[in-house]
């Protein structure tokens, strides 16, 4: 697991998907199969996962051992405190942000959506072509 910070400037010029989640959030876990599918389907898109509350050691020692979360081992996972989560987002997980090549948030999907796979596929295809 790479624990180096991500330089946001390194993401300019790329389409980026940021998924904000908590491990205890059942709806967050329900989105993971869709996100795993999109990671495979769109290798040119940068996927970043932002976890609120757990620590890197909790992730490594507890969650990476669970089948639903193993795919995160190969992804960029950032961590934030629960206090920051409440200050900035409230109780808004899952939340998926789609950012264009200029660094502008173009789509914000807050809460679980059954149609997330359809929405992501259509919007990622659009942003990649721009």
Quick one: pLDDT at residue 35? Answer: 95
* 67 domain residue, yes or no: yes
Contacts of 109 (CB under 8 A, 6+ apart): 94, 95, 96, 97, 98, 116, 119
CATH of the domain at 40: 3.40.30.10
Dihedral pair phi/psi, residue 52, rounded to 5°: -110, 115
Quick one: pLDDT at residue 1? Answer: 47
Residue pair 59/51 in contact (Cβ under 8 Å)? The answer is yes
Does residue 5 surpass a pLDDT of 70? no
Quick one: pLDDT at residue 41? Answer: 97
Confidence of residue 54 (pLDDT cuts 50, 70, 90): low
What is the span of the domain harbouring residue 30? 13-129
Does residue 39 surpass a pLDDT of 90? yes
Does residue 10 surpass a pLDDT of 90? no
Supply the mean pLDDT for the chain.
82
The whole-angstrom separation of Cα 47 and Cα 72 is 10
Quick one: pLDDT at residue 31? Answer: 93
User: Which comes out higher in pLDDT, residue 43 or 26?
Assistant: 43
Q: What domain count does the chain have?
A: 1
* 55 domain residue, yes or no: yes
Task: Report the range of poorest mean pLDDT among 51-55, 71-75, 78-82.
Answer: 78-82
Question: What is the average pLDDT across 59-70?
Answer: 74
Residue pair 128/100 in contact (Cβ under 8 Å)? The answer is no
């Amino acid at each position: 697991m790479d624990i180096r910070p991500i330089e946001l400037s390194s993401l300019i010029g790329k389409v980026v998907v940021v998924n904000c989640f908590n491990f205890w959030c059942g709806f967050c876990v329900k989105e993971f199969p869709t996100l795993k599918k999109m990671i495979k389907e769109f290798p040119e898109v940068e996927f970043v996962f932002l976890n609120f509350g757990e620590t890197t050691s909790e992730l490594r020692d507890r969650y990476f051992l669970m089948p639903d979360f193993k795919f995160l081992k190969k992804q960029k996972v950032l961590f934030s405190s629960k206090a920051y989560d409440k200050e900035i987002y409230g109780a808004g997980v899952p939340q998926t942000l789609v950012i264009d090549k200029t660094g502008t948030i173009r789509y914000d999907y807050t809460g679980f959506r059954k149609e997330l796979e359809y929405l992501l596929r259509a919007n990622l295809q659009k942003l990649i072509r721009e």
